[in-house]
Structure 1
Amino acid sequence: MAALTSAPALAQSPSSGGQASSDQTTFVQVGQLLAEPERGIVQRDKTLVIRGNQVVEIREGFVGEGRIVDLRDSFVLPGLIDSHVHLTSQQNPNGRLEEVTQSNAEQAFVGARYARRTLMAGFTTVADLGGSNESVFALRDAIRRGDVPGPRVIASGSAVSVHGGHGDINGYREDVMHILSPESVCSGVDDCMRAVRTQVRAGADIIKITATGGVLSNTAAGLAQQFSDEELGSIVAAGHRMGRQVTAHAHGADGINSFLRAGGDSIEHGTFLDDESIRLMRREGVWLVPTLLAGDFVARIASSPDNFFTPAQSAKALEVGPRMVDMARRAHEGGVRIAFGTDTGVSAHGDNAQEFALLVRAGLSPLEAIQAATAGAAQHLRITGEAGRIATGMPADLIAVSGDPLSDVTELERVRFVMKAGVIYRED
Structure 2
Amino acid sequence: MLTLKAAGLLDVDTGEIIRPGIVKIEGERIVGLGGKPEGEVLDLGDLTLLPGLMDMELNLLMGGPGEHHLTSQTRDDPPTRMMRATQNARRTLRAGFTTVRNLGLFCKTGGYLLDVALKNAIDVGWIDGPRIVPAGHAITPTGGHLDPTMFGKFAPHVLQLSVEEGLANGVEEVRKAVRHQIKHGAEVIKMCGSGGAMSHTGPSGARHYSDEEVRAITDEAHRRGLRVAAHTHGSVAVRQMVECGVDCIEHAFMIDDDTINLLVKEGTWVVATQALIDDMPVLRSSEPEIQAKAALIFPKAKISIRNAIEAGVKIAVGSDAPAIPHGKNALELVALVDRGMTPLQAIQAATIVGADLIDVTDRGRLAEGLLADIIGVAGNPLEDINVLRRVPFVMKGGKQFIY
Normalization by structure 2: what TM-score? 0.93
Give the equivalent residue in structure 2 for 1:9. Answer: none
Give the equivalent residue in structure 2 for 1:268. Answer: 250
Structure 1 residues 221 and 330: CA distance shift in structure 2, 3 A:
closer
The within-5 A match list for 1:236-315 is 236-298=218-280, 302=283, 307-315=284-292
Residue 317 (1) aligns with residue 299 (2) = no
Give the equivalent residue in structure 1 for 2:57. Answer: 84
Q: How many Å apart are 1:222 and its aligned residue?
A: 3.9
2-side partners of 1:392 and 1:353: how far apart? 26
Count of residues in Structure 1 that have an aligned counterpart in Structure 2: 394
Give the equivalent residue in structure 1 for 2:88. Answer: 114
CA deviations over 1:348-369 (Å, ceiling 9, x no partner):
0011101112111111000000
Residue 50 (1) aligns with residue 28 (2) = no
Structure 1 residues 169 and 181: CA distance shift in structure 2, 3 A:
farther
Give the equivalent residue in structure 1 for 2:196. Answer: 214
User: Please, which of 163, 183, 186 is the counterpart of residue 168 of structure 2?
Assistant: 186
User: Please, which of 361, 366, 373 is the counterpart of residue 338 of structure 2?
Assistant: 361
Could you tell which deviates more after superposition, 44-53 or 170-179? 170-179
Residue 73 (1) aligns with residue 83 (2) = no
Alignment-mate amino acid for residue 104 of structure 1: P
Give the equivalent residue in structure 2 for 1:422. Answer: 398
1-side partners of 2:47 and 2:21: how far apart? 11
Alignment-mate amino acid for residue 162 of structure 1: P
1-side partners of 2:77 and 2:6: how far apart? 45
Q: How many Å apart are 1:346 and its aligned residue?
A: 1.2
CA deviations over 1:315-370 (Å, ceiling 9, x no partner):
33222223322221110111111111110111100111011121111110000000
Could you tell which deviates more after superposition, 231-240 or 90-99? 90-99
SS, match of residue 125 in structure 1: strand
Tell me, yes or no, if the aligned pair for 1:292 and 1:342 is still in contact at 8 Å.
yes
Tell me, yes or no, if the aligned pair for 1:401 and 1:411 is still in contact at 8 Å.
yes
1-side partners of 2:399 and 2:200: how far apart? 42
Q: How many Å apart are 1:49 and its aligned residue?
A: 1.3
Structure 1 residues 182 and 309: CA distance shift in structure 2, 3 A:
farther
CA RMSD of aligned residues (A): 1.8
The within-5 A match list for 1:85-104 is 85-90=58-63, 94-104=68-78
Q: How many Å apart are 1:426 and its aligned residue?
A: 0.7
1-side partners of 2:194 and 2:146: how far apart? 10
Normalization by structure 1: what TM-score? 0.88
2-side partners of 1:301 and 1:198: how far apart? 31
Structure 1 residues 284 and 220: CA distance shift in structure 2, 3 A:
closer
Tell me, yes or no, if the aligned pair for 2:98 and 2:373 is still in contact at 8 Å.
yes
2-side partners of 1:239 and 1:174: how far apart? 31
Q: How many Å apart are 1:181 and its aligned residue?
A: 7.6
Residue 154 (1) aligns with residue 154 (2) = no
Gaps of 5+ in 2: none
Runs (4 or more) in structure 1 with deviation over 6 Å come to: none
Alignment-mate amino acid for residue 380 of structure 1: L
Give the equivalent residue in structure 2 for 1:166. Answer: 145
Tell me, yes or no, if the aligned pair for 2:9 and 2:22 is still in contact at 8 Å.
no
SS, match of residue 185 in structure 1: coil
CA deviations over 1:60-106 (Å, ceiling 9, x no partner):
25x234x3211241111000001101111128882211111111111
